Amino acid sequence: MLFALRVAFRYLTANRVQSGLLIGGVALSVIVFVFMTALIRGLALFLTVQTTGQIAHVEMEPPRRIAEVMGPDARFAAQPISTFQRQQIRNWQLMVDQAEQLDHVVAVVPEVNGNGFLVRGTAVAPIALQGIDPSQIDAIIPLSKSIIDGSADLSTGGLLIGAELAEDLGLRAGVPVILRSDRGIERLIPVTGIFRIGLSNVDRRVAYLSIAVARPLLALPNGVTSVSIKLDDPALAPLIAEQLKRQLPLKVTAWQEKNRNLETALESQGRTGNFIQAFALIAIMISIASALLLTSVRRRGEIGIMRSFGISRGFVASVFVFQGVIIGLAGSLIGSALGYRLCLFLSEGITGPDGGPLLPIAPAEGGYVLVIVLTVVGSAISAILPAQAAARLDPVEAIQQ
Amino acid sequence: MTLLKAEGITKSFRTGDIDTLVLKGVNLVLEPGEMVALSGPSGSGKSTLLNILGLLMQPSDGALSFMDKPMSGLTDKQLSAIRNTHYGFVFQFHHLLPDFTAMENVAFPAAAPAGGISAEIRDRAKMLLGRVDLTDRIDFAAMRLSGGQKQRVAIARALMNKPELVLADEPTGSLDRENSARVMALLREINHEDRTSFLISTHDPEIAKCCDRQINVVDGRIA
Q: Which residues of B touch A304 (CB under 8 A)?
A: 95
Strand A159-162 relative to strand A206-210: parallel, antiparallel, unpaired?
antiparallel
Q: What is the pLDDT of residue A81?
A: 46
> Alpha carbon of A20 to those of A12, A303, B194: distances in Å?
9, 23, 47
B152/B147 Cα distance (integer angstroms)? 9
Taking an 8 Å cut-off on Cβ atoms, the answer to whether B83 and A313 are in contact is no
Span A351-360, pLDDT tens digits:
777 677 778 8
The chain A residues in contact with chain B (CB within 8 A) are 1-4, 6-7, 10-11, 14, 301-302, 304-313, 315, 395-396, 399
State the count of interchain CB pairs (< 8 A) between A and B: 74
Full set of structural domains in chain B with CATH: 35-56+77-222 (3.40.50.300)
* pLDDT tier, A126 (very low <50, low <70, confident <90, very high otherwise): very high
CA neighbor of B35 nearest in space, from B207, B203, B219: B207
CA neighbor of A14 nearest in space, from B99, B173, B214: B99
Taking an 8 Å cut-off on Cβ atoms, the answer to whether B89 and A309 are in contact is yes
| CA-CA-CA-CA torsion sign (A160, A164, A169, A175) | positive
Span A77-125, pLDDT tens digits:
545 444 445 678 888 898 899 899 999 999 999 999 999 999 998 899 9
- Spatial strand order of the sheet with B165-169 comes to B87-90, B165-169, B197-202, B35-39, B213-218, B221-222
Q: Count of CB atoms within 10 A of residue A170's CB?
A: 11
Mean pLDDT of A158-171: 93
Mean pLDDT of B64-70: 90
* pLDDT tier, A165 (very low <50, low <70, confident <90, very high otherwise): very high
Burial A345-356 (b: 16+ CB within 10 A, else e): ebbeeeeeeeee
Mean pLDDT of B17-41: 88
> Which residues have a Cβ under 8 Å from the Cβ of A26 and sit 6 or more positions away?
A284, A287, A288, A327, A328, A330, A331, A332, A335, A375, A379
- Burial status of residue A192 (CB atoms within 10 A of its CB: 0-12, 13-18, 19 or more): buried
Taking an 8 Å cut-off on Cβ atoms, the answer to whether B82 and A10 are in contact is no
Identify the DSSP state of A346: I
Identify the DSSP state of A155: G
Span A2-24, pLDDT tens digits:
889 999 999 889 888 888 988 89
Taking an 8 Å cut-off on Cβ atoms, the answer to whether A311 and B112 are in contact is yes
Taking an 8 Å cut-off on Cβ atoms, the answer to whether B112 and A305 are in contact is no
CA neighbor of B169 nearest in space, from B143, B198, B146, B195: B198
Taking an 8 Å cut-off on Cβ atoms, the answer to whether A399 and B95 are in contact is yes
Mean pLDDT of B209-214: 86
Q: What is the pLDDT of residue A176?
A: 92
Mean pLDDT of B31-42: 88
Strand A147-150 relative to strand A123-132: parallel, antiparallel, unpaired?
unpaired
A271/A264 Cα distance (integer angstroms)? 11
CA–CA min distance B48, chain A (Å): 9
Largest CA distance in chain A: 105
CA neighbor of A130 nearest in space, from A85, A84, A181: A181
What are residue A209's DSSP bridge partners?
Answer: A131, A159
Q: Which residues of A touch B76 (CB under 8 A)?
A: 313
A112/A34 Cα distance (integer angstroms)? 47
Amino acid at A296: S
Q: H-helix or E-strand containing A256? A: helix A255-258
Q: What is the pLDDT of residue A84?
A: 47
> Alpha carbon of B168 to those of A55, A133, B139, B183: distances in Å?
85, 99, 25, 11
What are φ and ψ of residue A138, in 5° steps? -105, 10
> Alpha carbon of A290 to those of A33, A260, A284, A392: distances in Å?
21, 45, 10, 17
Residue A64, pLDDT above cutoff 90: no
What are φ and ψ of residue A334, in 5° steps? -65, -45
Span A291-347, pLDDT tens digits:
777 777 778 778 888 888 888 888 888 888 898 889 889 999 999 999 999 999 988
Identify the DSSP state of B25: E
Percent of chain B scored above 70 by pLDDT? 100
Map residue A52 onto helix, strand or coil. Answer: helix
Strands (E), B47-177: 61-66, 69-70, 87-90, 165-169
A143/A146 Cα distance (integer angstroms)? 5
Question: How high is the ipTM of this complex?
Answer: 0.85
Strand A186-195 relative to strand A226-231: parallel, antiparallel, unpaired?
unpaired
Most confident of A176-190, A344-358, B185-199: A176-190
Between the CA atoms of B170, B173, B176 and B177, what dihedral angle is there, to the nearest 10 degrees? 50
What are residue A227's DSSP bridge partners?
Answer: A60, A110
A16/A115 Cα distance (integer angstroms)? 74
Of B95, B99, B109, the CB nearest to A310: B109
A113 with A130: CB under 8 angstroms?
A: yes
B99 touches chain A (CB under 8 A): yes
Span A195-211, pLDDT tens digits:
998 888 889 999 999 99
